[in-house]
Amino acid sequence: MFGMLFIAMLLLAIAIVVALCVAGIHAVLLGRVPGRWLRFRVQRPRVWGVGAILLALTWPLGSLYACVVGIGLMAIGYVPEEES
């Protein structure tokens, strides 16, 4: 029973990492985020995408500093751009 629960949690973590990588690559390459909910909230999709990729690649490895930088970049992606 415990082994099946562990495998299910591991598969869920892998699915989240793959989804973040795909969304991040989509945002970096195309300049827009996938999905209606994110599209209206993310103001800087390329910065958000770089943060998502960094977070997805460093979270499973246990690199806390790079994970924090990825979270920070994703948060900056939600900040509206300046109007000049």
Average pLDDT on 28-38 reads: 91
Confidence of residue 46 (pLDDT cuts 50, 70, 90): very high
Report CA-CA distances (Å) from 46 to 3, 4, 10, 40.
39, 38, 29, 14
pTM: 0.83
* pLDDT of 80: 87
pLDDT value of residue 3: 84
Whether the pLDDT of residue 18 is over 80: the answer is yes
Distance of CA 53 to the CA centre of its chain: 6
- How many other CB atoms are there within 10 angstroms of residue 48's CB atom? 24
